[in-house]
Each structure stands twice: as structure tokens, then as C-alpha cells.
Amino acid sequence: MKSAQRLLEYASSRGLNACFANPGTSEMHLVAALDAAPGIRPILAIFEGVATGAADGYGRIARTPALTLLHLGPGLGNGLANLHNAKRARTPIVSLIGDHATYHLANDPPLASDIVSIARPVSCWLRTVGRAEDLVAAGADAIDAAMAQGPAALILPADVAWSDGEPTPAANKRTQEDAPSWRGKVDDAARSLGAGAVLLLGGRYLSPRACAAAEAIAQKTGAKAIVETFPARIARGRGRAALSRLPYLSEVAAGTLSGVNAIVLAGAATPVAFFALPGRPTRLAPDDAQILPFATPTDDLDAALEALAEAVGARISQAQSAGDAPSAPDAGDAIDPVALARAVAATLPENAIVSDESNTLGLFTFDVCAGAAAHDWLTLTGGSIGQGLPVATGAAVAAPERRVVALQADGSALYTIQSLWTQAREGLNVTNVILNNGAYAILKLEMMRAGINAQTQAASDLFDLRRPTIDFVQVAAGFGVPGQRVNTQRDLTQALRRSFAQPGPSLIEVMFP
């Protein structure tokens, strides 16, 4: 049996059941092997950034790794930006990256490149497999690493994939887990939490339990519970704690944290600016604030936060802060960010998943959706735009019974717009809400923040997406996804309702004046 087939059978036996693929010649034996692992569903992406971003969305929802299938260094390069985001989210992913046959590399054929150098910055684990007999063991290590840490990259030369080789047994998985390190830190964390302290939340998944525990801790101690700026996944909506997020703009975030005396990190990192600005500090907490690392991003945050709640004597009950359901806007007025937020919050179906890359236009949506039906919210963890549509695509593969809503800025949508085709092909229940203001509006803002107040001609040109206007409805139709353009609040509400009521993907192009 070819080792490629052994690898996929093994992956299937470990519960991996989706492979987001954009294969090439060097992966032909992996493609052939997919038939021998009928438990693994091959899902074609017509661009690798879709495949890696979809694996990220899949992993955040399924909490088990998807496979990706990528073609050599350039294929990995095309998928790199979304692996960067996935690494920041610590999403479990196992990327299978084909390479030339080992004996062919010395010939330096045209597609040869240093795959390891390209892969290392976006991988929590990395290995090039040199012998067929080692492949299954490497696959086992990759899956373990992906589960424990985040994206794993397995580089697979073609001759290793096509060779037969009795596999050396995979190392026994540790059955006895070490006690998590947060256990020894509960008392210190508990002592630090009081008025003037912040419990900063983050990590792979802020579940209903984790958020409820955090809220109870805050109420008991007087500390503020705040979610990191870009959480990988957080449970939200009616009946759940309505925690707020640390603002994106560093000057605003620093204001939120001013006067804070201690920050207990529960899955989050020490808060820093997204970008440095001339003359402004890059660390957001006051210099004299104590920073207490408590739980890491990959820890079991439910357990950690419930233990912390117990230590402070907090009783976890139904969420106190859950918001009220807003009413849907139904006027013929133009759409603005508040109307967008209300329309989404009022119409969101129960148990929806929101993939949020709405940038400037989505400013209010997260907060207003605290009053929406219960849902999960996924954000742009690594700051590399072009994540929203692929993540929505993968989330819909992981949870076919749930409605996925991509709140997607126009400029960012264009990096991975090919996602729409995979959604159409697989009949995924995704509502793609494209927020069209015809500009990289975030960059206009960042230019001012950088102290460049007179916007130059070059900048005006480079931030402008209206010359020519992009027609997202036509692009979507070209990829097989039906779409509609809306200009009024009423039409937006109706379009959302219609989209949520019918299976399969659709696109709503929301025009902002």
C-alpha cells in the first residue's frame, strides 16, 4: 500500500474528515489516496487562500483539524496569509504540502523552492518526511501538535507519497496529561482581581461556560472582564454574557486600560498596539500595572475560569448582562453602521455563526448582537485581510445545520473572493454580506493616525475602490452564488431574512453612501 494511502487512512481513523484541497502534480498520489479514505471529504478550492482560511473556520467550529492539500512552496505561499491568521487563532489544522521527489530536488526544477523557510513562520509544528515508513508516525505527531498548539505543516515529497513502506508504529499518545499550569496560578490570580483589575479573555474558544464564569468573577470581585480585540471564537447572544472587547484603536484601548492596576491573562496575550504610531506607546496597559499570566490560549478555559470563579467565591448563574433583542430597521433610509448592526442583530437565526471581517463598517455590530439570538462570533485574529469569506466557508462545512453569516468589508473580500465558488459547489449555508463603501476606509483612518493629515493624491488613489466600481453581485453570479444589492435599511432587513430562510449560499451587497 502506498504511504499516501496509509496516511489518509490513519488521519481518517483519528477523526479527520475534511480536506480543503488545491492539489497539483506533486500531490497526485494523495489525491488518488483520498478514495481509500472515504471518511475524508475532499473540498476543492480554486485558490489556496480559500483552502487554508476554510480549514481555519472549520477548525474553530469543529475543534478538530481539517487537512489542507497544497502544491509546493508557491501553493503554500498562496495559502500563507490565512495560515498566519490561523496560527494566531491557534486553530488545529494539518497542512499536507507536496514537494518534488527527494532525488529530483538536486536538479532544481522550475517549481522547486525552500518550502521549510516559507512554512516555518506560519507553523506551530513542521516536518519534512524523508521516508515512506515514517509518514504515518509523522502524521500522528502532526495531528497531536495541531490539537495541542495550532497549524501543523507536513511536507511530503512525491516519492515518499508514492512509495510503499510498512509504517513504523506511531508513538503511543500520552494517556496521562500533565496537570495544566494554570492550576498553580489560581490563587495568585484570585488575589489580584478586585476593583481596578482586568480579567483579559482570549484563546481558542470563549464558550458560554467560559464567558459566564468570567462575568461571575467580574461581578464578585469588581474587576472588569474584557475580551481581547480579536478573539478566535466567542459565544454570544441572548442568554449569554455580553462581554465587551478591547477596542482596536490603540489610543482608545489605552483609555480603556488607564488606571488599571492588574491584568490577569486568561487565554489572552499582554495587550499591545496593533501597529506602532510615531511617538505613541505600543504597550496598552499602564507601566505600573501588574501583568499576571494565568491561562494560555490553548488551555481548557472552561475549567480554568470555573476554578478561578470558585477561588473568588463567585456563583455562576444565568448571564446577567445579556442584551435585549433590537428591532429590525424597516425604513427606506440609507444604510449606516448602526442600521447594519440592528438589521443583523434582529434577524440572526438561532445558533448562527458570524465570520466578522467588517472592519470600519462593522464597528457596532458585535456589541448590538449581544441582543441577537445565541450565536458564535469569529474574528480576524492575525490581522491579515481576506479571511472572512474562507472562514465562513469552512465553518459551514463543519456545521452544515447552522447558518453562517460573513460580515465582510469590500476591500478585504477581494483577496479571497473565490470562496464563493466553493460555497456554491458544496451548497453551503452561508450568507455573504458585503459592505461596500468603495474604499479601503481603514487605511484612510490609519493614515491620519500615522500623523499624515493632508491626504496625498497617491493615498487618495491607492485607497479608492470606485474607479471602477466593483459589482459584487455580478462577481458572485459568475461564481455561481445568487446575489442582491441593497441600498435601504428596509431592503437590507428583507434580504437578510430571505437569505436566512433558504438553504445554500447567497450574497447581499450592502451599499453605503
What distances in angstroms separate CA 85 from CA 81, 166, 387, 419, one per listed residue?
A: 7, 37, 8, 16
* 121 sits near a copy of itself (criterion: CB under 8 A): yes
Side by side, which strands form the sheet with 125-128? Answer: 41-44, 18-21, 66-71, 93-99, 152-157, 125-128
* 7 sits near a copy of itself (criterion: CB under 8 A): no
- Is the distance from CB of 324 to CB of 481 less than 8 angstroms? no
Out of 6, 60, 90, 100, point to the residue binding a copy of itself (CB under 8 A).
100
Residue 240 has φ and ψ, to the nearest 5°, of -120, 155
| Residues 197, 188: Cα–Cα separation, whole Å | 13
Closer Cβ to a copy of itself, 276 or 331, answer by number: 276
Closest CA to 3 of 72, 96, 71: 96
Binding residues among 143-202 for a copy of itself as defined by CB under 8 A: 158-159, 162
* 249 sits near a copy of itself (criterion: CB under 8 A): no
Out of 421, 434, 435, 506, point to the residue binding a copy of itself (CB under 8 A).
421
Binding residues among 32-61 for a copy of itself as defined by CB under 8 A: 32, 34-35, 42, 44, 46-47, 49
Binding residues among 8-27 for a copy of itself as defined by CB under 8 A: 21, 23-26
What's the closest the beta carbon of residue 477 comes to a copy of itself, in angstroms?
Answer: 5
Closer Cβ to a copy of itself, 50 or 328, answer by number: 50
Q: Looking at 201-209, 272-280, 339-347, 366-374, which segment touches a copy of itself (CB under 8 A)?
A: 272-280
Beta strands in 213-351 (DSSP E): 224-227, 234-236, 244-245, 262-266, 290-295
* 447 sits near a copy of itself (criterion: CB under 8 A): yes
* 363 sits near a copy of itself (criterion: CB under 8 A): no
Kindly write out the interface string for residues 205-224 of this chain, putting x where it contacts a copy of itself by CB under 8 A and - elsewhere. Answer: --------------------
What's the closest the beta carbon of residue 19 comes to a copy of itself, in angstroms?
Answer: 9
| Residues 194, 221: Cα–Cα separation, whole Å | 5
**Cis amide linkage into residue 286, ω under 30° from 0:** no
Closer Cβ to a copy of itself, 268 or 352, answer by number: 268
Helices (H), 222-368: 250-257, 301-312, 337-347, 365-368
Kindly write out the interface string for residues 277-316 of this chain, putting x where it contacts a copy of itself by CB under 8 A and - elsewhere. Answer: -x---xx---------------------------------
Closest CA to 22 of 62, 76, 65: 76
> DSSP readout, 112-137?
---HHHHHGGG-SEEEE--SGGGHHH
What's the closest the beta carbon of residue 154 comes to a copy of itself, in angstroms?
Answer: 18
Positive or negative, the Cα torsion across 153, 159, 163, 167? negative
Out of 252, 331, 471, 501, point to the residue binding a copy of itself (CB under 8 A).
471
